[in-house]
Amino acid sequence: MGPSVERNVLTVKAERLASDLKDTEMIAAERPRGVFSRQLFRGDNLDTDRVKAEYDAGVLRLTIPVSEQAKPHKIEIAHNVRMPDLEEAWVAAQDTPGGAGKFLRKYAAFTLLVIDEWLLDRPTESMRGMLLELMERRYGETSTVFCTQYSQKDWHQRLGSGVHADAIMDRIIHNTVWVETGTYNMREQTALASA
């Protein structure tokens, strides 16, 4: 079978035969036999013309060379955090030497950061400073999703209406897609469905 590249997605297909599985330990999530495929989203730094896929004794090995101009870096995919938990983690990080910088590097590194219950409580001055620095590090580099019951026009006030609020909003509102979900309440719908 083998690899194919289409629209920035590398797909590898192979077939696992029952005979390949003799005397091997299997991961429970893997199917014991049959056709399977894996998809990897590739960046511009992969040399997909030289991708090699080898399948032997139940093990699929991929060789994906990185192009010469690529710089190695760690990619963190996605992270979902509630705003109250984010604030609690920030307070704890400040109590550790070097913890604030480590906290900011961690949350700035996620390709997608989802902040649920955004502005549920008004952030403290320390939290506003952290949000400004975090949004600055993420701006134009990664994506952030804000889940909230407040409309965008109320955010500035809930952020304290000061200079920090101006700066935070400036880094959020430009280059943004707004999705209004209306009054639909998912918890209410699932409660009705299970009743």
Q: Do domains 2-63 and 76-173 have the same CATH topology?
A: no
- Cβ proximity of 9 and 42 under 8 Å: yes
Whether residue 10 contacts residue 3, with contact meaning beta carbons closer than 8 Å, is answered with yes
Q: What residue ranges do the domains of the chain occupy?
A: 2-63, 76-173
CA distance 107 to 97: 18
Whole-number Å distance between alpha carbons of 170 and 94:
25
> pLDDT value at position 71?
45
What are the tokens at 30?
Answer: 């893997």
CA geometry: angle 16, 19, 21, nearest 5 deg: 70
CATH fold of 76-173 reads Rossmann fold (3.40.50)
**pLDDT at site 174:** 84
Q: Which residue do the tokens 């984010």 mark?
A: 86
pLDDT at 54 (0 to 100): 64
Which pLDDT belongs to residue 189?
Answer: 76
pLDDT per residue of the chain (195 residues) written in tens, 0 to 9: 455 555 545 555 555 555 544 444 433 334 444 444 444 444 555 555 666 666 565 555 656 555 544 445 555 567 899 999 999 999 999 999 999 999 999 999 998 999 999 999 999 999 999 999 999 999 988 889 998 888 889 999 999 999 999 999 999 988 788 887 777 777 787 888 777
Amino acid 31: pLDDT: 41
What pLDDT does residue 7 have?
52
Cα separation of 110 and 113, whole Å?
6
DSSP the chain: -EEEEETTEEEEEEEE-GGGGTT----TTS-SSEEEEEEEE--TTB-GGG-EEEEETTEEEEE-PBPTT------EEEEEEEHHHHHHHHHHHHTSTTHHHHHHHHHHHEEEEEEETTTSSPPPHHHHHHHHHHHHHHTTTSEEEE--SS-HHHHHHHTTSSHHHHHHHHHHHTT------TT--HHHHHHHHH-
Q: At the topology level of CATH, where does 2-63 sit?
A: Immunoglobulin-like (2.60.40)
Alpha-carbon gap, residue 135 to 167, rounded angstroms: 9
